[in-house]
Amino acid sequence: MAGFRLIAGCLLGLSLLACDRNENVPQAVGELRPQPACDPVARVCEANGEGIGLSFRFGPGVAALKPFPVRVWPAPGVRIEKLVLSFRMSGMDMGLNRYRLVEQPDGAWQAGVTLPVCTSGRTDWFVDLELWTDAGLWRGTLPFTLLPR
């Protein structure tokens, strides 16, 4: 019985270490919608939801398997608690590539990311955004194309 309690205690301790208070999905969920014809590789783009907005840009130096910066700027009055993004392709497993952005002194959020390579040569990507605020979780998906440079 003592062995069982020790194992159970260790498992509980490990699960508590792995928990992040912000990983709990908030009750309120909203949708971020990117502006039409958004191309974050070429220029700053915007995404908006009801009462929320942000601008974002990829690069410079966007290419598969080469690190590049992603920057996100919240609209005035938007208080971000956590911001995560990942890249994917429709119908193709691109592996785990989830990035947590970090708030910068100027109020922007940034991370160095690496776009996975597609061995089939496809260039049609999606970036999935998850943005936590005190109002809840906001999600958005942005399609983009990585053109050869």
Q: How many CA atoms lie within 13 A of 120 on its CB side?
A: 10
The whole-number average pLDDT for the span 22-31 is: 57
- Is pLDDT larger for residue 15 or for residue 141? 141
Model-level pTM? 0.74
pLDDT digits (tens, 9 = 90+) for 118-133: 777 778 888 999 999 8
- In whole angstroms, what is the distance from residue 65 CA to residue 144 CA? 17
Q: Tell me the CA end-to-end span of the chain in Å, nearest whole number.
A: 64
Structural domains for the chain: 30-145 (2.60.40.10)
Which residue spans within the chain are E strands per DSSP? 29-34, 45-49, 52-58, 68-74, 80-88, 98-100, 102-103, 109-113, 124-133, 136-145
pLDDT digits (tens, 9 = 90+) for 61-72: 888 888 999 999
